[in-house]
Chains A and B, each alone.
Chain A
């Protein structure tokens, strides 16, 4: 499936990002029922139906070119949004291989990869990149391998080393995050990294998730969905730039919530990496405004109910305190109280 790219949309300043009708229909709604609480909602990352966001290992959609441009803007201002500790080099090559092979296999009109032994030739047509390099030799690429390839991919990537029965957050490209900092969290254990998440520790979510991930197998990737909300279609809601986006939250009213408030869904994929035995954690962000979401009646009813009854600790953690009521009020006219069908499909 080849996408037509929205070449000129932006995720800052004038926020011209929009979803096509097709992009809305394939939006990965994270609520399979009318209420929400944490769970270890991990499932095998198997190919989904054609056209869905899980059809392929890495989803390339109409926002691809614009998201790569947005990433470059963030990195130009803050190079430390990409970091890798020195012992993570073999995992960097693992990631490059995984992403290049997946994209070339799944989107042959956009990407191609030719190999002669360790001499690789990579072509990325949407970004007009044509690169010959030697796999394993960092000097033959313009940047470190993880930096190089994740500038050509949508979503954030975190690489976790496995040792001492734990997973250590020790490399990553993080420019489209929901309020966490790679720079601060680099070097942390799995539970330290997730320290700021409320309730889930007490529910044992991270104990179970860690145990599961330590045994994650090669060739058997898994995925889960997570979500929050963001004002404007702003990808870079980093703590680093909180002074720039924090004031947005106070601008929401019941009148403008449909356009300002966006549901932000992360499609998180986890792969065991072969050379390094590390795990790469892909965090792909999808944004949809409440107005776009409300074009699907079932989703409008469901999101209205989820937000209305959300646990107070989650309202706080997800940063919704200032505008949750406005968003609920904006959605209320779409909810006639009729039941929703099970599952997340648009109906």
Chain B
């Protein structure tokens, strides 16, 4: 069974401004503020009017919200907003997409789980790979979907993890579903019960 090197694993690239878009919607989490600001400065030099059509939705990591949001505002972004957590941000993201027009580009910067959850919503609005850019930053902890009981275990940092639903030890594969925004977890000791590989930190 292939565990790593699976082609469904998303590949991310550093964010770049796509000035072919008319509207720019940015989602950020924690240290994701930095790549978003980088894109904003890139756009400032390209065409200042673009920034009027730019909107930032941002979740700070821990308590220090003010500096980042001030930096977005200082960068002359039309509309920057902070949220107490990812669920609130995603709710606003969904209602924003419902009002958005063709020509919108989406930029996401944050952990892979954050990107995955945002992409899942973007998919519902028929946004495709040409309209979305994502840069992974912060922890690469994974959301893991248990193929046996269908529960999703969040923040998995190790090669194997105990499922929150059924308690089985799951091997975390590179096989990734955008629809579920999760990696596949398969019982690791199904062939030889109790034979677990050593626990290793993998996704930090």
Contact partners of B174 in chain A: CB under 8 A = 195
| Contact status B1-A247, CB under 8 Å | no
**How long is the Cα–Cα vector from A64 to B112 in the complex, in angstroms?**
46
**Which chain A residues (134-153) contact chain B, with CB distance < 8 Å?**
none
Closest residue of chain B to A80, judged by CB? Answer: B150
Stretch at the interface among B39-47, B61-69, B82-90, B189-197: B189-197
- Considering only CB atoms and an 8 Å cut-off, how many residues of chain A contact the other chain? 33
Q: Are A184 and B180 neighbours in the complex by a CB distance under 8 Å?
A: yes
Q: What residues on B are CB-neighbors of A242 within 8 Å?
A: 147-148, 186-187, 190
Q: Tell me if B139 counts as interface (CB < 8 A to partner A).
A: no
Whether A250 pairs with B128 at a CB distance below 8 angstroms is no
Query: What is the CA–CA distance of A228 and B184 in the complex, to the nearest angstrom?
Result: 22
One of B6-14, B25-33, B51-59, B92-100 contacting the partner? B6-14
The yes or no answer to B24 lying at the interface (CB within 8 A) is: no
The stretch of A23-31, A66-74, A122-130, A314-322 in contact with B is A314-322
CB distance from B115 to the nearest CB of A (A): 16
In this complex, what residue of A is CB-closest to B174? A195
Q: Is the CB of A196 within 8 A of B1?
A: yes
Asked if B2 is an interface residue, CB under 8 A from chain A, the answer is yes
Answer whether A246 and B191 are a contact pair too, CB < 8 Å, given A184-B180, A196-B2, A196-B173: yes
- Bound complex: CA of A319 vs CA of B2, how far in Å? 10
A115 within 8 A of B: no
Closest chain B CB from A226 CB (angstroms): 16
Range for the number of chain B residues in contact with chain A = 20 to 34
Chain B contacts with A in 143-182, Cβ cutoff 8 A: 145, 147-148, 150, 168, 173-180
In Å, the complex CA distance between A250 and B191 comes to 7
A183 at the interface (CB under 8 A from B): yes
What chain A residues lie within 8 Å of B9 (beta carbons)?
195
User: Interface 1/0s, chain A 245-263, versus B by CB < 8 A?
Assistant: 1110110000000000000
A186-B177, A239-B184 known, 15 other contacts, Cβ within 8 Å = A181-B147, A184-B177, A185-B177, A192-B7, A195-B9, A195-B175, A197-B2, A243-B168, A243-B187, A246-B187, A246-B191, A247-B192, A250-B191, A316-B1, A317-B1
A-B pairs with beta carbons under 8 Å apart, 7 shown: A179-B1, A185-B177, A186-B179, A187-B123, A188-B178, A195-B7, A247-B190
